[in-house]
Amino acid sequence: MPRPPVVPSIAPMKNWLTPLLLVGSLFALAACGSNSEIIATGLKIELTRVERAGDGSIQVTWRVKNPNVVSYLIDRSAHKVKLDGVPLGTITDTVRLGVPAQSPVERTSVLTPANAQAAERLAQLATKSPASYTVDSTIFLLIYDDEILKATLSGAGSVPVSAK
């Protein structure tokens, strides 16, 4: 009796197919997770002025520098401010801010003091202006229609401090 023809088995191919699909899925998921860092690359945050107003409020002027060839729309932002290593307070800004391509943009916002001593600390720093600062910011970029991406920025330097 003649033997039936030998058909190559596809079992070895099945052994390679599952790991290949798994690796491809991992690459796809990894690419989706870092969109905000890629989109916000190059954006810089800095403080340009800290001022204690006559009414006791603390106003901070901050700047976003955009070296990129695309414009951004900041939907909202939050900033933690430290002067000379001491937490001064936070800024929460819910008004949208357009950042033109290859340009800086400034905004002045009211700071919520970290504690009761923040105003005293600011008065002390005003006598020996400028002060060193660090700012840690979380910005929410409106990308398309209602797609919002969260990005974090940090900045450090020196800033003039004044009191009226």
CATH number of the domain that residue 46 is part of: 2.60.40
The candidate with the shortest Cα–Cα distance to 81, out of 164, 162, 154, 160, is 154
- Domain-embedded: residue 94: yes
pLDDT tens digits, the chain, 164 residues: what are they?
Answer: 677 666 555 555 556 666 656 555 555 545 554 555 667 788 999 999 999 888 888 999 999 999 998 899 999 999 999 998 889 999 999 999 999 999 999 999 999 988 888 878 888 888 887 999 999 999 999 887 778 889 999 999 999 998 87
- The model's pLDDT over 18-64, given as tens digits with 9 standing for 90+, comes to 665 655 555 554 555 455 566 778 899 999 999 988 888 899 999 99
pLDDT in the model for residue 134: 96
78 domain residue, yes or no = yes
The answer to the question of residue 102 being in a domain is: yes
d(Cα 48, Cα 106) in Å, to the nearest integer?
A: 9
Q: Which domain holds residue 71?
A: 41-163
Q: What whole-number distance in Å separates Cα of residue 111 and Cα of residue 88?
A: 8
Number of domains within the chain: 1
Distance separating alpha carbons of residues 63 and 45, to the nearest angstrom: 6
Domain membership flag for residue 115? yes
Asked if the structure places residue 21 within a domain, the reply is no
Q: Is residue 27 part of a domain?
A: no
pTM for this model (two decimals)? 0.73
